[in-house]
Amino acid sequence: METGNILLDYIYEGNGTITSVSQKDNTIFFTTGTDLVSIDKSGHNFTIYGLGMPVDGNLAVNGDEIYLTNSENKLFKYKID
């Protein structure tokens, strides 16, 4: 952030494309249109969270809570186990 240097360049090769990104502590969350995914800041510990719905909206992370919007006028609040 201070220098503008690229510290992490990550390519997601799953279905869909990255549509929204949020971060909490050492974890980066992103949505792909079909899934919610997290990686750590070094790009490891790839994790898919099965939500059972299209994840085509935007994302905010607050503590162990995740807020997601979708294109059907809905806001979902999830708790990470």
Partner 1 sequence: MKYIYNAINIIIAISVIVSQCGCKNSASSNYTNQNFSTPSIQTTHNSNALPSDLQDSMDATPNSPSSNDDNRNNITLSKVWEFEGIDSYYKPIVNGNNVIICGKNVLFNISKDTGKKNYESFLNFNYAVDFYTDSNIIAACNAKGFLEVTDVNTGNLLWTSGLIWKPATSFWITSMKAMEL
Residues that bind partner 1 (CB under 8 A): 3-15, 20, 22, 36, 39, 42-51, 56-60, 62, 65-81
Comparing CB distances to partner 1, the nearer of 25 and 77 is 77
Strands 27-31 and 20-24: antiparallel
> What does DSSP say about strands 59-62 and 47-49: parallel, antiparallel, or unpaired?
unpaired
Q: Measured from the CB of residue 62, what is the shortest distance to partner 1 in angstroms?
A: 4
At 59, which amino acid appears? L
Q: Least distance to partner 1 from the beta carbon of 2, Å?
A: 11
Contact 17, 6 (CB under 8 A): no
Q: Which residue type occupies 5?
A: N
Cβ at position 81, least distance to partner 1 in Å = 6
Nearer to partner 1 among residue 25 and residue 81 (C-beta): 81
